[in-house]
Amino acid sequence: MTKRTSRGILDRLKSGIVLGAEGYVFELERRGYIKAGPYVPEVVLDFPEAVKELHREFLRAGCEVMVALTYYAHREKLKDVGRENDLERMNRQAVQLANEVAREGDALVAGNICNTWAYDPHNAAETSKTVRAMYEEQLGWAVEEGIDFVISETNDYLGEALIALEVIKQLKLPAMVTLASVQCDQTRDGYDYVEACKILADHGADIVGLNCDRGPATMLPIVEKVRTAVHCYVAAQPVPYRTSAEHPTFESLEIGNGQRAFPLALEPFLLNRFEMADFARRAQGIGVNYIGVCCGGAPHYVRAMAESLGRTVPASKYSPAMELHPMLGTQVETKDKVFLQDWKS
């Protein structure tokens, strides 16, 4: 494996917060490079420069981890779009692209696996074999291309997450395993989210937590409980949407007449950058170690989060200077407080 940087993920977490950023599939769909529905990252082969550009924008905004765009680049999903034969090429190229941009800064490269839609807890013995084979295949290629650690994410089932963890540990890489949280308080195989994180930690996960589905307001209360339940590092990568007690996930947000906003009409619920900066500070306050953003995430959020953690990043050169605005400059004293609605649930 090529050594890209002197400090690995565990070293960095030991000395402070690591800032991550995801949501590649959502953002590249928005930019016209990925088809909503199947959400397969064909862009990796069809428009590699578009992937590199988004990596680069996140890097400039202060993201420390380039997550290889292999989300849904697995056998089951590629079958859906008739590109099963591109499986290996897509996986290898995704890791190569992440590496190329990571070297432009001092970022780490994470291999990425996710829920497979192949796991069935009622037929765990049989389906586990399929899932394991998919993870081994994807991560085998990723390791050959060079990764620093692995993020296994949006896990609906603890059972499936444990398979991912085993495969990552076989490869002797640090493992970050985060759960989806579509359901009210437990995984689809019936484990309370906090308990599931504890089990993952007990099985050797280096970083556990939640990603996707929930906005900061409804994710942080769960993550806070995870923090007190485990001794390992904790991750929180929410979606930047205004979820609430009534609508705890972005899948449950409604635009009126009971019509759901997910996944293509979520814009009215977007948080602003100040709110995401506030999330980063709150996450820091409760002891979250890996702070990031998921679907809906974009570079301006990441920069605001980085700066709220006291960092100056390459894109800070172009951070707002509203005092220089000809009209708004006189109102600058209101600053971010105006925009910072109370998003607590």
Pairing, β 108-114 against β 18-19? unpaired
Peptide bond into 41 cis (omega under 30): no
- Of positions 212, 230, 283, 313, contacts Zn ion by CB under 5 A: 212
**Min separation Cβ 322 and Zn ion, Å:** 31
Q: Which of residues 287-326 bind Zn ion (CB under 5 A)?
A: 294-295
**How would DSSP label each residue in 211-272?**
ESSS-HHHHHHHHHHHHHH-SSEEEEE--SB---SSS-SGGG-EEETTEE-TTTS-GGGBPP
Q: Does 78 bind Zn ion (CB under 5 A)?
A: no
Say how far apart CA 31 and CA 43 lie, in whole Å: 11
Q: Measured from the CB atom, is 145 or 156 closer to Zn ion?
A: 156
Closest to Zn ion by CB, 212 vs 236, is: 212
- Our finding on whether 63 is near Zn ion (CB under 5 A) is no
CA distance 22 to 161: 19
Distance in angstroms between the alpha carbons of the first and the last residue of the chain:
45
Size of site (CB under 5 A) for Zn ion:
3
Structure tokens at 98: 């992440």
Binding segment for Zn ion (CB under 5 A), chosen from 2-10, 51-59, 195-203, 205-213, is 205-213
Span interacting with Zn ion, options 50-58, 78-86, 208-216, 330-338, rule CB under 5 A: 208-216
Q: Residue 215 Cβ, how far from Zn ion at the closest point, in Å?
A: 11
Instruction: Kindly tell me which of 207 and 212 has the beta carbon lying closer to Zn ion.
Output: 212
Least Å distance, CB 21 to Zn ion, is 11
Region class of 16: left (phi > 0), else alpha (psi between -120 and 50), else beta: left
Contacts to Zn ion by CB under 5 A? 212, 294-295
